[in-house]
Structure 1
């Protein structure tokens, strides 16, 4: 296969420069991932929104097989551009669609060009895989994770514990971050079965040398139990709701 040309072109992004064009627009809200040990923001996750702040489904419902690659590429450009405009200092977490990545080293060119254009440090980028996306090829996903890590990016698996379990990925090519699904987090301080499952995941990640992010944390009780298990990275309404085109400052439980 011939290598494609560098894809990024601000004036044509969303049209032929990124593959099949999009006939809809979108933006982002940002939600902090906090480091409880340091009382600081570790990263901001870019969450897709409509141009007037509409929910993610108003955008994602328009993504299909025809425009998936273009959407994935434009997401990266828009997230980097907005993060740069907001002078984001913590890391930037961008969700990506593995089924839209045919070869990681080729499909990353748009991101690299955008980072250069907007003067954003690529070492601050986390690529986050949504665990619920069904992939026919484990080898394809592990090749993406390994390629991104070799390029200096951090990687994360989102929503771990819901949808399609990715223990095979953990064995083949573990990510830098694993984000617990909110269904595991909800009311965990009162549910021994959840506690046992999460304790096992914590042990696994420690042995693999990665970090856990507890996402969807809404109550102090959930936070304190998870914190007592050694988790330091958190995301959820307890700390901050997503802010449309801005960087919310977290609040801390008493």
Structure 2
């Protein structure tokens, strides 16, 4: 047996029940949801920590697989007519061989009639991974028709070096770069030039963690169109809620 089956062969099951909350990524041009990000929650709506604290090196393969399937199933069931994308966080270190480990995802999408080109796989820079392994995963997903995204850009291990080797569809700027940007000249300069760089690379920018109308206005002035944050509402447990646009937006 090859390492392609290592997760199934050596991994433990993830037996704790869990569900998902969904938070919109809002398109400021239309006021509608460009995508909904699936965020793990306990089966009764408990915080992510109640689930993630149970993830170990032995069961992370099963957990990663179940997260993908649960997000697709809920998205297809809760909002079957939506044309918004579904953003799913994945764990690169839980993927042994991308074409083998994607089987459950493909089967679930097929069973619920969920289009592959509406699925965004995002990973965080905060998880240290072998870059060659990560690039292999991303290229396979791209070839299969999935969208890809780097989350927390600017706060992790790879940064610009990774971006030079692979250009995802979406880059989500780390929220620490966004917090208080309306009153911080240095942050505005950094974000403005980062957005320009991403645009030149044909990469869509998402700014996350926006909590105030001032932050929203500063980003809008920079030409940022896709926004995620509490300014539009908190993640909704097992619901796809429309964005709540602030009055000053």
- TM range, smaller chain: over 0.9
In 2, the alpha carbon distance for the partners of 1:119 and 1:111 equals 12
Following superposition, the deviation at residue 71 of structure 1 comes to 0.4
Following superposition, the deviation at residue 213 of structure 1 comes to 0.5
- Runs (4 or more) in structure 1 with deviation over 4 Å come to 1-5, 16-19
8 Å CA contact 1:189–1:221 kept in 2: the answer is yes
1:111-126 counterparts in 2 under 5 A? 111-126=105-120
In 1, the alpha carbon distance for the partners of 2:231 and 2:79 equals 24
Cα deviations across residues 203-236 of structure 1 (Å, max 9, x unaligned)?
A: 2101110111010101011011111111100000
Provide TM-score, normalisation by structure 1: 0.91
- What residue is the counterpart of 1:63 in the other structure? 55
In 1, the alpha carbon distance for the partners of 2:132 and 2:14 equals 29
* Structure whose residues are more often helix by fraction: 2
Provide TM-score, normalisation by structure 2: 0.93
Report the more deviating stretch, 56-65 or 193-202. 193-202
In 2, the alpha carbon distance for the partners of 1:198 and 1:206 equals 12
Which secondary structure does the structure 2 equivalent of 1:246 belong to? coil
- What residue is the counterpart of 2:176 in the other structure? 183
Following superposition, the deviation at residue 23 of structure 1 comes to 2.6
- What residue is the counterpart of 1:163 in the other structure? 156
Cα deviations across residues 15-57 of structure 1 (Å, max 9, x unaligned)?
A: x799521131110000000100122110000000001111111
In 2, the alpha carbon distance for the partners of 1:118 and 1:176 equals 24
8 Å CA contact 1:241–1:248 kept in 2: the answer is no
Q: Could you say what the CA RMSD is over the residues aligned between the two structures, in angstroms?
A: 1.8
1:86-125 counterparts in 2 under 5 A? 86-88=78-80, 89=82, 90-125=84-119
8 Å CA contact 2:10–2:58 kept in 1: the answer is no
2:32 to 35, 40, 61: 40
- What residue is the counterpart of 1:213 in the other structure? 206
Task: Say how many residue pairs are matched.
Answer: 244
Which secondary structure does the structure 1 equivalent of 2:157 belong to? coil
- What residue is the counterpart of 1:197 in the other structure? 190
In 1, the alpha carbon distance for the partners of 2:200 and 2:45 equals 40
Identify unmatched segments of 5+ residues in structure 1: 8-15
8 Å CA contact 1:45–1:94 kept in 2: the answer is yes
8 Å CA contact 1:18–1:73 kept in 2: the answer is no
Which secondary structure does the structure 2 equivalent of 1:238 belong to? helix
Cα deviations across residues 166-218 of structure 1 (Å, max 9, x unaligned)?
A: 21110001111011111111000111111121122112101110111010101
